[in-house]
Amino acid sequence: MVKTAFVFAGQGAQYSGMGRDLYEGSAAAKAVFDQAEAIRPGIIAQCFEGTPAELADTANTQPCLFCVDLAAAYTLQASGIQPNWVAGFSLGEIAALTFAGVFDFAEGFRFVCQRAALMKAASEKNPSAMLAVLKLSGSQVEDVCRAFEAAYPVNYNSQEQTVVAISKEKQPEFSQAIQAAGGKALLLPVSGGFHSPFMNEVHAGLVQALEPLQLKEPVMPVYSNLNAESYGQRIKETIADQVNHPVYWQRSIEAMTAAGTEIFVEVGAGKTLTGLIRKIVPEAKALNVEDMQGVTAVQALFDNDSK
């Protein structure tokens, strides 16, 4: 059997209409949205009809993306495609953990809603932004950050893409410094400087939110953003620590490749992770599933590989 990884999309991939085609074409996807709607009425309308501003609000973005991620993953699973291991980018890691059985759906969804509310509050208290830096290595980006009091490399996405969290006040100056170093800085559509010390208060809130939950062992390996290794015994600690520590995405993809992954399937909105994977491991087969056409494409790929 072809070794496969599902990778779950994270914040920044949202768009109005996401998940609608899955909802209309898959009973498994419809069940995801209907469960979420019962817990948080209005979320279906937000996914299918929300304005860009509404979907950019972290309190909405994360629960909506969580639903689309899992709608795509469960639709693939219902069609007979089961991954060997999973990973998720930032918010996507909570969806990956839910798919792997660590949270049940209602637990995972409620936790994501809490996480989103805490991250929104921290962003409003500590005005900050995230910039994707292109054309420079991670170490070059780290060198530029050292010249600033509050600039943190937070997403090591590929060989030539590192995301930095920085105070909004210093954002223009930092962009100029990146340009002077030969790079390019692009502002990301998120509301704060995630995975950095700007989120320290969120960490404390997540520890408290996780404390009463009876989390289960994952039924398949889940590769962590925190260390690019599969989750071990410190499940709650790893989930909480992720929010104010960097995402080691390149290392995670390299680790899954070393474990034997032949096909990466991005589940959820957009194709950001698919593009990163193709840069990290050019020889890998990588494709995304955000609608029924994507499901059909993955099925065809598996059918061909099994012949």
Active site residues: 90, 195
- Helices and strands of the chain, counted as H and E runs: 14, 9
Phi, psi of 218 (to 5 degrees): -65, 145
CA distances from 246 to 36, 61, 173, 181, 216 (A): 29, 20, 22, 22, 25
Write the secondary structure of 283-299 as one string of H (helix), E (strand) and C (coil).
CCEEEEECCHHHHHHHH
DSSP per position, 56-116: HSHHHHHHHHHHHHHHHHHHHHHTT---SEEEESTHHHHHHHHHTTSS-HHHHHHHHHHHH
Q: How many CB atoms lie within 10 A of CB 45?
A: 11
Cβ contact 124:158 at 8 Å: no
Q: What is the DSSP letter of 25?
A: H
d(CA 267, CA 290): 6
Closest among 213, 275, 285 to 4, alpha carbons compared: 285
User: 152 in helix, strand or coil?
Assistant: strand
Cβ contact 166:174 at 8 Å: yes
Q: How many CB atoms lie within 10 A of CB 150?
A: 17
